[in-house]
Structure 1
């Protein structure tokens, strides 16, 4: 059967969150708070990130705001520059495809209709897609501000696809799996060991669609 495969990008096709995790670790080590544990500082950063939004630019703002809230000394310009550097370094990281992604897209693209569906800062996501070298496998690249039920319904309508013949493939329960299922699509959950903490959620299949859980992107070849 010919399917529409909507495929997530960050931490599904290429590594992403490991670079944010490294920057977070460097920031917390640099802050070196005398009273708060690593986890307590991280909780404040999580709270700030919920307000700031996605992408490395907003993440850098989140680091600076967390520093402003938690620093135990007068704010120094050199400290601010150091922290800004932790965030900005993310953009210069090499784009590393996950194992078997290219070979799997080679296999899937002649058989199915592939759409890359990602969220975040438009320019930053476009740049990643261009750098990835895999854009040609996809009929279309769709970048949305948020992946919620309304966004999936809109994508289905704009692409004129049948939800029951469509699968959302990704690593995030909160953005890729639960809202897609709730919108009437099928979903393939491929967990990533370093999925962003704010994307964690119990996988719930409240819709009519099928749910597959795979351990690697390459396993798509077995099912599609």
Structure 2
């Protein structure tokens, strides 16, 4: 296949959740439902329920990983702590139900994403790199209708410099030949830039606080920011020109 700028950029990576399809909206709704359950036992503001849940989730990432199942286990733990072990078995069961509802949500692609992915895949090899629960992510990839466009689909436990460095080695290319597209500064952009790669940040209207914990200069030369999927193909071409220069 004739691929433009192949000597510089050889591979383009896409994040999945909140880059290709909606995700955080559903998690935010589940958190609101969780707060309503716990609110029957404590004053939400006085108990600092949102912050407490976030702290429990953060400390459990190393044990449970990312995704719905880890969130639900953290919700159960937080609910027991916040209520002083007064929460009923029935309400714990309701929290489990929140997780089941999350796992059943259909995939909803973001506006312009099918066209953008196909356009980029027509010029470059593309891969999907996402993290989260293996079964859930596999199910969403199957439902999205774009799986055949990706050279490889990688579902990883963490997206950090070590993970990306391993993937670059497996892909047989250097970081300088790779562009990553995603909504998360922490997972999609910062590690790739740190290794010498290129990033395109496409913010989603809501992002989990954990994914915003990254310090990146607004004028980072290897980074571009776009407001939506329609701008992605040209942003990749712009970075490809910069890589050659």
Shorter-chain TM-score range: over 0.9
Residues 184 and 212 of structure 2 are in contact (CA less than 8 Å); yes or no, is this contact kept in structure 1?
A: yes
- Structure 2 residue corresponding to 1:196, chosen from 208, 215, 239: 208
Distance 1:71 1:77 in 2: 13
Residues 47 and 82 of structure 2 are in contact (CA less than 8 Å); yes or no, is this contact kept in structure 1?
A: no
Alignment partner, residue 32 of structure 2: 25
User: With structure 1 as the length reference, what TM-score do the two structures score?
Assistant: 0.93
- Structure 2 residue corresponding to 1:90, chosen from 99, 102, 106: 102
Instruction: Give 3-state SS (helix, strand or coil) of 2:123's partner.
Output: coil
Residues 177 and 203 of structure 1 are in contact (CA less than 8 Å); yes or no, is this contact kept in structure 2?
A: no
Return the offset for 1:51: 2.5
Verify: 1:172 aligned to 2:180, yes or no.
Answer: no
Alignment partner, residue 161 of structure 1: 173
Verify: 1:75 aligned to 2:83, yes or no.
Answer: no
Alignment partner, residue 47 of structure 1: 55
Number of equivalences:
223
Distance 2:47 2:19 in 1: 26
Unaligned runs of 5+ in 1: none
Unaligned runs of 5+ in 2: 238-245
Deviation sequence 1:100-127 (CA, Å, 0-9, x none): 0001112111110100011122222111
Residues 221 and 38 from structure 1, CA distance in 2 versus in 1: closer, same or farther, beyond 3 angstroms?
A: farther
Distance 1:171 1:214 in 2: 10
Residues 8 and 118 of structure 1 are in contact (CA less than 8 Å); yes or no, is this contact kept in structure 2?
A: yes
Residues 185 and 209 of structure 1 are in contact (CA less than 8 Å); yes or no, is this contact kept in structure 2?
A: no
Return the offset for 1:65: 0.7
Deviation sequence 1:79-117 (CA, Å, 0-9, x none): 111111112210111110000000111211111010001
Query: Matches of residues 115-134 of structure 1 in structure 2 within 5 Å?
Result: 115-134=127-146
Alignment partner, residue 140 of structure 1: 152
Verify: 1:13 aligned to 2:13, yes or no.
Answer: no
Residues 175 and 192 of structure 2 are in contact (CA less than 8 Å); yes or no, is this contact kept in structure 1?
A: no
Instruction: Give 3-state SS (helix, strand or coil) of 2:21's partner.
Output: coil
